[in-house]
């Protein structure tokens, strides 16, 4: 296993291929293009590298390995903040292509491949991965907001039932109580839901 780095303005790439000539050729091309490159020659070695180094920006994985298949590495990559990856293969097979897509590969490339083909695939994959990450973050924020709105609504319902007041009055009482207690509205709503029997909105 080797490790070479250039200034950090380019992405870091983890290469996995059991063919040392192909590995060296890809590494050299990427290094010349300004990428930071680390090479590994087996899935076990790649997993060991991942466990002991900062996460790479992208992984390039040969599928056909002598021991463990390259298809086994994405499970580890997904545990590490969804590292994007590209599969390489010596032959194109529909079944393998389907499996690559199901595993979340950003691309499925057939060897031999040179830097002129690999670099655009890497840049496209990194851009797509960033878009997907932003979409996921937006979805999580939306879900958090929806969950928060739901908790507040439930708390208002509890207050309406407890004090026999209408929705507007219960909503006002909840917000005034949160302000007076100097806690977040959602935190107070959650507390009310978890301890309805001890409901206390007094200042």
Domain end position, chosen among 69, 98, 113:
113
DSSP string, 86-101: EEEESS--HHHHHHHH
Q: Are residues 83 and 9 in the same domain?
A: yes
Indicate the residue among 66, 92, 113 that finishes a domain.
113
CA–CA gap between residue 135 and residue 122 (Å, rounded): 20
Q: How far apart are CA 28 and CA 115, in angstroms?
A: 9
136: in domain: no
Q: Could you tell me the sign of the dihedral formed by the alpha carbons of 151, 154, 156, 162, in that order?
A: negative
Q: Is the pLDDT of residue 198 over 70?
A: no
Q: Structurally, how many domains does the chain consist of? A: 2
* 16-20, 75-79, 99-103 — most confident range: 16-20
At 84 the pLDDT is 92
More confident site: 78 or 45: 45
Most confident of 74-88, 153-167, 184-198: 153-167
Question: Are residue 9 and residue 94 in the same domain, yes or no?
Answer: yes
Nearest to 191 by CA among 164, 146, 152: 152
**pLDDT at site 199:** 47
Q: What is the CATH number of the domain that holds 79?
A: 3.40.50.2300
pLDDT at 112: 81
User: Quick one: tokens of 76?
Assistant: 């580890």
Distance CA 190, CA 151 (A): 6
For 39, half-sphere exposure in the C-beta direction (CA atoms, 13 angstrom radius) is 20
- pTM of whole model > 0.85? no
Structural domain boundaries enclosing 147 = 143-198
- The verdict on 165 and 99 lying in the same domain is no
Residue 4, pLDDT above cutoff 80: no
Residue 69 maps to a domain:
yes
Model confidence at 44: pLDDT above 90: yes
Across the range 170-183, mean pLDDT stands at 89
Residue 71 falls inside a structural domain = yes
Q: What is the pLDDT of residue 7?
A: 44
107 and 7 within one domain: yes
Residue 41 confidence class, pLDDT cut points 50, 70, 90: very high
């Amino acid at each position: 296993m080797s490790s070479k780095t250039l200034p950090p303005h380019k992405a870091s790439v983890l290469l996995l291929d059991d063919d040392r000539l192909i590995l060296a050729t890809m590494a050299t091309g990427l290094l010349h293009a300004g990428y930071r490159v680390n090479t590994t020659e087996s899935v076990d070695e790649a997993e060991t590298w991942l466990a002991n180094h900062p996460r790479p920006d992208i992984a390039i994985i040969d599928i056909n390995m002598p021991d463990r298949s390259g298809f086994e590495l994405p499970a580890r990559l997904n545990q590490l903040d969804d590292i994007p990856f590209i599969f390489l293969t010596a032959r194109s097979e529909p079944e393998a292509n389907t499996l690559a897509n199901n595993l979340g590969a950003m691309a499925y490339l057939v060897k031999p491949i040179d830097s002129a083909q690999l670099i655009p695939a890497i840049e496209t994959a990194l851009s797509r991965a960033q878009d997907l990450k932003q979409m996921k973050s937006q979805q999580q924020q939306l879900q958090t907001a929806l969950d928060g709105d739901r908790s507040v609504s439930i708390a208002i319902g509890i207050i309406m039932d407890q004090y026999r007041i209408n929705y507007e009055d219960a909503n006002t009482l909840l917000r005034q109580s949160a302000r007076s207690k100097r806690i977040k509205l959602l935190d107070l709503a959650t507390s009310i839901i978890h301890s309805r029997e001890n409901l206390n909105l007094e200042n």
